[in-house]
Amino acid sequence: MRRHTFEPGRLVAGVAALAVGAGYALDAAEKWNPPPFVLLPVLAAGLVLAALITAVTHAVRRRTRRAEQARASAPDPSTLGDLPMDWFREGHEALRTAPAAPAAPAGPTDSAGPNDPAGPTAGGRT
């Protein structure tokens, strides 16, 4: 016999039906005397609970199946070839490995300094 998946909603529905059937059997054997309309709402509550459990189980299995399919269909990064981002990465690598530019001189670039006879107003500064 082929194995099948476990269905928790069917289990709950079966247990609810068995409980109601056992209640009616005990009533028929005069071992238990439940109020007349107690067992049918118990069956309805059991079926509603089974439906909720089935919906949650279905959602979880669908999400798991989609995640497995996404993992299986994801392309191998080594077979993608050149992507537009690769062009930017090559340019960035070229900038990183290029020789450093000479450092700019520190301080003012004109010749007027504090000891210069022209004074601090030389070079058009006020």
| Rg of the chain taking only CA atoms, in angstroms | 41
pTM of this structure? 0.55
pLDDT at 73: 80
- C-alpha–C-alpha distance, residues 32 and 58, integer Å: 38
User: What is the residue extent of each domain of the chain?
Assistant: 8-74
pLDDT at 70: 83
Per-residue pLDDT of the chain (126 residues), as tens digits, is 888 899 999 999 999 999 999 999 999 999 999 987 899 999 999 999 999 999 999 999 999 999 888 888 877 666 666 666 666 666 666 667 767 666 666 665 555 555 656 555 555 555
pLDDT at 1: 80
Question: Could you tell me which residues come within 8 angstroms of residue 121 by beta carbon, excluding any fewer than 6 positions away?
Answer: 112
42 neighbors 16 (Cβ within 8 angstroms): yes
53 to 7, 11, 26, 41: CA distances (angstroms): 9, 10, 29, 18
